[in-house]
Amino acid sequence: MRSDSVKRGSQSAPHRSLLNALGLTKEEMERPIIGIVSSQNDIVPGHMNLDKIVEAVKMGVAMAGGTPIVFPAIAVCDGIAMGHVGMKYSLVTRELIADSTEAMALAHAFDALVMVPNCDKNVPGLLMAAARVNIPTIFVSGGPMLAGKVDGCKTSLSSLFEAVGAFNAGKMTEEKLEEFENKACPTCGSCSGMYTANSMNCLTEVLGMGLKGNGTIPAVYSERIRLAKHAGMKIMELLEKNIRPRDIMTLDAFKNALTMDMALGCSTNSMLHLPAIAHETGIELDIDMANEISAKTPNLCHLAPAGHTYIEDLNEAGGIYAVMDEISKLGLLKTDLITCTGKTVAENIKGCINRNHDVIRPAENPYSENGGIAVLKGNLAPNSCVVKRSAVAPEMLKHEGPARVFDCEEDALKAINSGKIVDGDVVVIRYEGPKGGPGMREMLNPTSAIMGRGLGSTVALVTDGRFSGASRGASIGHVSPEAAVGGNIALIEEGDIIQIDIPANTINFVVSGEELARRRANWKPRKPEITTGVLARYAALVTSGNRGAVLELPR
């Protein structure tokens, strides 16, 4: 065992002395040492309950003959960080989480790991660490929040952001806004729709790194505690069989994840995180394959913000395995892959039926014949950009309109809220990419303001930043190359006609080659506003959105 390097032999007497100082008995030292990575904190609603999950994991590990030892991972609440400088730090934490977990796991010679994450960057950050460290690892998340209720209808955080837009437009009273505020987020857990956190927790199941229910069992259910105990027990089996993350997260597993991403209608942030996780396994996942997969994968779920069902409804309908079973009927999943259950995908999903055809459409009656996410290319985004097609109004799948250009989120939001954005406009927000932000901020406030003002079926938004999973509408992000490195988005001028054709996977702005060359000759890089600390280091090393915004050392 790896932990023998700090437990066995006379040369390890100093190490054992320090383990004694922890209160570990000789009997505990003789067992495998299992690291439990706890993301618990008191600022993220999705993480406030993780102490209960961690205690259950510890019990499961001990019941199965291991010695559990807990160490922490950080996590940012994207909702609280939204709309101010805090959002510059959100994506950055993904790398910090991966780096710090790698350091802790290898420095202390753990034999195996149980990851306990829940929210947006925390899940992919720990999946990246698992791939990098590559010792037996299993995930158990904190679970989704229950939906709120306003006027007898289920609601969520995305509804509240849009309510702010409606209030600013004079379409909602202050009293009604306060009601939304008090009812939208009624429990602990990751926010209740198919936003980024729940997208990644569900895809963790698909990848084979979490047990059944990891993505869908609500945070407040006792079933979640039982799941955590089973995860603690299961890690001992994975250790015995030496099943490691890179055995599970293969290229075929990532293709399964992309396929299920399309079927579920996940957050566009998955198009950042899946390539980044794959990168840590040594696989370069080209997101261009998303369109090929989307073309043959039906969209079966319209969870909030795309529709009016929530993760709790998906759980009752049979969960991720039930959706996988529907998709497998079409022969679109590789089902002979090993997973953290110790069984194959086929064995896992056997008998997992679809219990609610209103929540999970049958494969023969999908919401659409194509998947929930589309990758677009054209002279506006030569390398690519991404849109959550399943959350776009049908009339906006093709759109042409004048560019309204802003060099930061705040300026765009001010224009939207003051009524300067009108039907037909295409709002362009640039210099918000991984380098330009730095940090690739989410644009939930502008998209919610557009929706709140009733412009969702007439106005598009294009950015080199990204979107919260709670965003909906013609919200096109991850434009690559980004403005900060001289991407064509930096050369768009006010009034340029932008042509968006999501079914054709294209996005262009109308400009002649000569005019584009003139603009490029006149373009100058902007001086970075932030030159110190983690954001400066991040900006120096980060790659573009189409590569997952991974960090890369200068050559």
Catalytic machinery residues: 468
Q: Give the whole-angstrom CA distance, residue 440 versus residue 513.
A: 29
Instruction: Annotate 154-182 with b (16+ C-beta within 10 A) or e (fewer).
Output: bbbbbbbbbbbbbbbbeebeeeebebbee
Please identify which residue in the block is written with the tokens 């043959």: 296
Q: Give the whole-angstrom CA distance, residue 242 versus residue 88.
A: 39
Among 197, 182, 163, smallest CA distance to 76 is for: 197
Ramachandran bin of 85, using left for φ above 0, alpha for ψ from -120 to 50, beta for the remaining angles: alpha
DSSP assignments along 486-515, one per residue: T-GGGG--TT-EEEEETTTTEEEE---HHH
Can you read off the two tokens belonging to residue 113? 């790991």
Largest CA distance in the chain: 76
Q: How far is CA 363 from CA 256, 319, 371, 521, in A?
A: 16, 15, 12, 51
Phi and psi at residue 80, to the nearest 5° = -75, -30
Residues sharing a CB contact under 8 Å with residue 537, sequence separation 6 or more, in sequence order: none
Q: How far is CA 253 from CA 52, 120, 517, in A?
A: 30, 21, 43
The dihedral formed by the CA atoms of 131, 261, 287 and 388, expressed in degrees to the nearest 10: -130
Among 282, 477, 280, smallest CA distance to 376 is for: 477
Q: Give the whole-angstrom CA distance, residue 248 versus residue 136.
A: 10
Confirm if 505 and 289 have CB atoms less than 8 A apart.
no
Our measurement of the distance from residue 449's CA atom to the centroid of its chain's CA atoms, rounded to an integer in Å, reads 22
Can you read off the two tokens belonging to residue 277? 């996780």
